[in-house]
């Protein structure tokens, strides 16, 4: 029977979450799992940690599916980019993704030059993650960073930013059945 490893990543995107992702991917690889599902609920967090998490996910030999859940969960800010980085992505029906404009650690807007730099880095990262999803998904991803735009699961699906709306992991696994993903090693 195919093995699916499920992680629950709940809370801010900080170094402990990175370690959790690393351990989860290692476990999934060791168990020769067919898929690793990461149930994500985060307001966002550190851009540096987010970039490291994306690298770790992209290097995984097991397809990583980011699932924004349960209902009322959010993939805010850096969490939006982590969702985009999944080999596939899904959201529970009553969830939200976006609002990825950078703020400093005290929650204030960042001074303008630095803000522009960070936004450009975030947008370049987002583009590289979603360019194969088409123009509408790319524009939406950029608006999340430029204008702090946030959208519902339905809006994200309509724009092609995510692959599925799933009621629960069981539903998600059924939807993933036969779905093909592109890993870095082919």
CA gap 8, 111 in Å, rounded: 34
Query: How many residues are present in the chain?
Result: 186
**Helix axes 15-30 and 47-58, enclosed angle (nearest 10):** 10
In the DSSP assignment, the letter for residue 135 is H
Burial 49-85 (b: 16+ CB within 10 A, else e): bbbbbbebbeebebbbbbbbbeeebbbbbbbbbbbbb
Whether residue 46 lies in the annotated active site: no
Whether residue 117 lies in the annotated active site: yes
Q: Which of 26, 117, 128, 154 is catalytic?
A: 117
Q: Which of 77, 89, 101, 125 is catalytic?
A: 77
- Closest by Cα among 119, 128, 115 to 54: 128
CA gap 26, 42 in Å, rounded: 22
Catalytically active residues are: 77, 117
């Amino acid at each position: 029977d195919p093995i699916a490893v499920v992680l629950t990543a709940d809370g801010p995107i900080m170094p402990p979450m990175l370690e959790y992702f690393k351990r989860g991917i290692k476990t999934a690889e060791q168990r020769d799992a067919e898929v690793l599902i990461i149930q994500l609920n985060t307001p966002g967090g550190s851009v540096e940690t987010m970039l490291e998490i994306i690298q770790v996910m992209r290097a995984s030999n097991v397809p990583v599916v980011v699932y924004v859940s349960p209902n009322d969960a959010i993939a805010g800010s850096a969490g939006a980019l982590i969702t985009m980085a999944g080999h596939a992505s899904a959201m529970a029906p009553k969830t939200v993704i976006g609002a990825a404009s950078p703020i400093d650690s005290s929650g204030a807007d960042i001074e303008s030059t630095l803000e522009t730099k960070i936004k450009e880095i975030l947008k370049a990262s987002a583009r590289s993650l979603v360019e194969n999803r088409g123009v509408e998904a790319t524009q939406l991803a950029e608006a999340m960073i430029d204008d702090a735009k946030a959208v519902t699961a339905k809006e994200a699906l309509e724009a092609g930013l995510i692959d599925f709306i799933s009621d629960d992991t069981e539903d998600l696994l059924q939807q993933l059945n036969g779905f093909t993903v592109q890993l870095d090693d082919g």
